[in-house]
Structure 1
């Protein structure tokens, strides 16, 4: 007797610029086509979690405010409060004809910062998928402040994928994928179909947020790709309005850019996810070949003896990147000392339990 294959899980992230029309309103026709595609991939054996932007544009539309992201936090939070209701209603309207039940999951970094909260969130996602629901996930902008924000839904999608032990993440964007340069200003820019390693050259080609309604840019997508690669989860970035984008992004040879992932080695702990996806990086350490090998091959802590130079100052408790001598970021971790002590004093600069290794 043959056993049915384990359902695979896809996390589909939809950006505001993909979800809204030229006027900045939520595009109902696009949502209807999305529901049709989600129904097809579910029949093909995929569980689907959607990380959706759009609550703030929905709220701005409902409140009769200008359709561009407000600059003051109370208006952002008010628009989100009104918009979450409208957004989930729009999803439910287009998903229900296919017999797909949606659920709303709102997260902040606080909800996943400690292990107990992380495990509860993980179990909730698992149970929702077992019950056949399609979770619609968004950051809880109504209560989020800077200290507990993910900052963008690319980061949130990466965290949800780790929570749900996903098999693939798809970012539906307003660009076809990763290019060798910014295609809006460089006519020679070429699409990169596959990325096995995020080199310094690739990172240098990334730019910031590009649309009036979104908060993420290519650099946040690459940061997510790096963390997902460490967790063993492939990522696809493609144009969200390409024909059958969702279906084709989950194919063996997907459209857009595929960021491959190595075989899974171990779970990334909640604390390590917090470090990798949370606070902005404050410093950069360049290590010698021996230290790089110890980190990557043996999972060692970073000792001061292996540091070649400090490129940016930092304090104890700051998040810092660790680079090899070629300029490739091999790890990110929480510094146990400041930049001066890292250079001048012998000891552990980053402990292995507070460091994510990317290769």
Structure 2
């Protein structure tokens, strides 16, 4: 029995270090040659492909005389490995008369709305010209504060960035099982999962579970599809070493694990707020404001704020939290912290009197806010 897939015009393919590199960190040219041929086949079928590739750090690591675990060593390894990795891809894609383009991103790039839109426009332009974007995290400049947890997470963000129809994660496992396939090769692989089932599975695996030289491991293989599903994009997790894997997947063969998209999808802006935006600070709000935000989809008003925490300016992302730390929502603030501190607990009608100006009625407008799952219905005052 085959899978029924959506109309495929554009897909995001993510391939990990454990697939692209041998255990010693050296690039596996044979796999890259095979992958390039498969992507060329998809393009001939009229499907645009965005490739998210790991492997730069692994490729550069063994060329350093000494390699430690510091962020500086990782940056140096990435600087060495990135041109090697891209050059290998270019060599094999040229056989099929295809051009590649390197796109390096950091979390900070996708945190700023203007840079997020700029990245989207660049990718759209490349795809419109028949060029294959090869995306990787810019590990050379990434710090712990601005790096992605793993390229699975980056790839999931890219499904929204390019409005993909399908997300394929290629790894060294056959799919998602009840247990980690690396620890239990006999575990039964699920053919299909929904988001709720995936969330329950995720609780079984520690966040730092890794696969060989891969930074993210099984945890991000579970987390990334949840994100993509909220964008309305289905995910397939499959083994990169399976013969003709991409061709067989787009034909609907039951290989790997298929994760269904959610029925209620976030629009592009809400998706950006939910996943790409990196909050810098917190607004501590009362129960009444929390109920209004979650149950009535209201904007956050100054009267509902108890206090501010952390430094931020107008246009920055913040978390809206209860006093116990429970996150209610995240969004973009209309005022600087020092301005909000002056109007905490006051009525909206007093804003102009106190500050001498008024931008919008709310501190965070509902259009610039995304809400966490409804957990405060009991808090109506």
TM-score by length of 1: 0.75
Which residue in the other structure is 2:352 paired with? none
In structure 2, distance between residues paired with 1:237 and 1:331: 31
Tell me: CA distance 1:274–1:119, structure 2 relative to 1, closer, same or farther (3 Å): same
Task: Say what the alpha-carbon RMSD is for the aligned residues.
Answer: 3.9
Is 1:150 the equivalent of 2:154?
A: no
Shift of 1:248: 2.3
Contact preservation (8 Å) 2:98, 2:131:
yes
| 1:90-127 CA distance string (max 9 Å, x none) | 10011101001010000011112122111111111111
- Residue 19 of structure 1 contacts residue 54 of structure 1 at CA under 8 Å; is this kept in 2? yes
- Report the counterpart of residue 237 of structure 1 in structure 2: 237
Q: Distance in 2 between matches of 1:124 and 1:142?
A: 21
Q: Distance in 2 between matches of 1:321 and 1:220?
A: 26
Is the CA contact (8 Å cut-off) linking 1:279 and 1:319 kept in structure 2? no
Match of 1:111 among 109, 112, 117: 109
Equivalent residue runs for 1:144-223 within 5 Å = 144-186=142-184, 189-199=187-197, 200-207=199-206, 208-223=208-223
2:195 aligns to what SS in structure 1?
coil
Matched with 1:311 is none
Show the counterpart of 2:287: none
Q: Secondary structure at the match of 1:179?
A: coil
Q: Sort the Cα spacing of 1:184 and 1:221 in 2 relative to 1 into closer, same or farther, 3 A.
A: closer
Aligned residues: 321
Query: Could you report, residue by residue, the CA deviation over 1:47-79 in whole angstroms, capped at 9, with x for unpaired residues?
Result: 01110011112212444556xxx4011111111
Contact 2:202 2:223 in 1 (8 A): no
Does 1:35 pair with 2:36?
yes
Rounded Cα–Cα distance in structure 2 between residues aligned with 1:42 and 1:130: 12
Correspondence 1:81 to 2:79: yes
**2:159/2:167 contact within 8 Å kept:** yes
Cα distance in 1 for partners of 2:205, 2:365 equals: 30
Q: Which moved more, 1:181-190 or 1:171-180?
A: 181-190
How far has the Cα of 1:255 moved from its partner? 1.5
Gaps of 5+ in 1: 1-5, 284-290, 304-314, 323-329, 337-344
Distance 1:185 1:104, change over 3 A: closer
- Would the alpha carbon gap of residues 156 and 187 (structure 1) be closer, same or farther in structure 2, given more than 3 Å must change? closer
Distance in 2 between the 1:266 and 1:318 partners? 19
Select between 222-231 and 198-207 the one with higher mean Cα deviation. 198-207
Structure showing the higher strand proportion among its residues: 1
Q: Which SS does the other structure have where 1:26 is aligned?
A: coil
Q: 2:259 maps to what in 1?
A: 259
The answer (yes or no) to whether the contact 2:24–2:62 under 8 Å persists in 1 is: no
Question: In the alignment, what sits opposite 1:49?
Answer: 50
1:358/1:133 Cα in 2 relative to 1: closer, same or farther (>3 Å)?
Answer: farther
- Separation of aligned partners in 2, 1:331 and 1:16: 36
In structure 2, the CA distance between the partners of 1:152 and 1:93, relative to structure 1 (3 Å rule), is same
Given candidates 111, 131, 134, the residue that maps to 1:133 is: 131
Distance 1:160 1:184, change over 3 A: closer
Q: Structure 2: where are the runs of 5+ without partners?
A: 1-6, 283-289, 302-308, 311-316, 334-344, 346-361, 375-381
In the TM superposition, what is the alpha-carbon distance from 1:235 to its structure 2 partner?
Answer: 0.9
Q: Deviations over 1:328-351 (max 9, x none)?
A: xx9974699xxxxxxxx9xx9x98
Contact 1:106 1:138 in 2 (8 A): yes
* Residue 214 of structure 1, CA deviation: 1.2
In structure 1, what is the Cα distance between the partners aligned to 2:187 and 2:320?
A: 31
Separation in 2, partners of 1:190, 1:65 = 41
Contact 1:229–1:358 (CA under 8 A) maintained in structure 2: no
Structure 1 residue 267 displacement after superposition: 2.2
In the TM superposition, residue 43 of structure 1 has moved relative to its aligned partner by 1.2
Contact 1:272–1:356 (Cα < 8 Å) also in 2: no
Cα pair 1:230 1:262 within 8 Å, conserved: yes
Q: Which residue of 2 aligns with 1:99?
A: 97
